[in-house]
Amino acid sequence: MAIFTGAGVAIVTPMLSNGEVNYDKLEELLEFQIKNGSDAIIICGTTGESSTLTMEEHSEAIRFTVEKVKKRIPVIAGTGSNCTQTAIDLSREAEKDGADGLLLVTPYYNKATQNGLIAHYTRIASAVSAPIILYNVPSRTGCNILPGTAVALAKNVPNIVGIKEASGNISQVAELMALADGCIDLYSGNDDQVVPLMALGGKGVISVLSNVAPQQTHDMVQKFLDGDIEGSRKIQLDALPLINALFCEVNPIPAKAALNLMGMEVGSLRAPLTDMEPANQERLAKAMKEFGIPLA
């Protein structure tokens, strides 16, 4: 059984003016997501600026999210690292605090080989019992999980159950699903490829778009699952200008800018990320309005 089916939000981490995590605002965002149709919360992923959170902040944000969500929808904790032991430590802590699943990004910068990836993920998975979703995003990590590697992990490690595919390579995803023959759950990691990956057998999306359009993103997936392919495709195509605007600068710069334009007051970003360029913010605001998202 999949950890979740539908649209999970890769939620931002709101910050106070002094740079600390704004837990009051995080609670508001969680309630906004649940009220508006999100099917899962993914906390402390790339969109949550996990790379600049301290270990203590990382664990506390996961703990807080589990506590506030209260099992209404699954909470999936981003616990990946380019250090295997750090990923083990974060994963054990998240499991202890009640996360329903773990999302493990490929090791960045040191770029493991395929054999290294198998060893890395097997060690982490052996240290916990929580279900694990692999996260393949080579554009950010420089490391690509090849289809055979993902399938070998899913077949040989019982709690590796899914993959968030953000390679952008549809042919690679098709090969993965052909090799997998149902042994791994597929989630789109790219908001502009939700419908294509659903057509290949995907269970849904782990989405940046859901931060600002949770109901529409949920509906895109649900319509596909319900057999309304035309309705699903229409939402996908209508959302493309907004999706492109949300990625015209490095994620999560535009996502936080969009939430601030909505009056959510999620604060700024941690260095080395900087606030959105004014011209790009204008483009973002225009795309939001055209997609029917009210601005403050």
Active-site hit among 25, 135, 203, 256: 135
Is 108 one of the catalytic residues? no
Report in angstroms the alpha-carbon separations of 8 from 88, 95, 188, 218: 23, 19, 10, 8
Q: What is the DSSP string of 215-230?
A: HHHHHHHHHHHTT-HH
**Residues in CB range of 37: below 8 A, 6 or more apart:** 7, 214, 215, 217, 218, 219
| Residue 130 tokens, joined | 């929580």
Angle at 103 between CA 196 and CA 40, to 5 degrees: 70
Point out the catalytic residue in the list 25, 108, 121, 164: 164
Quick one: tokens of 296?
A: 């403050």
Answer for the pair 213, 291: CB distance below 8 angstroms, yes or no: yes
Question: With contact defined as beta carbons under 8 Å apart, do 42 and 9 qualify?
Answer: yes
Beta strand 40-43 with 204-207: parallel, antiparallel or unpaired? Answer: unpaired
Beta-strand ranges (E) seen in the chain are 6-10, 40-43, 75-78, 101-105, 132-136, 160-165, 185-188, 204-207
∠ CA 271-32-75 to the nearest 5 degrees?
Answer: 75
75-78 and 185-188 strand pairing: unpaired
Residues catalogued as catalytic: 135, 164
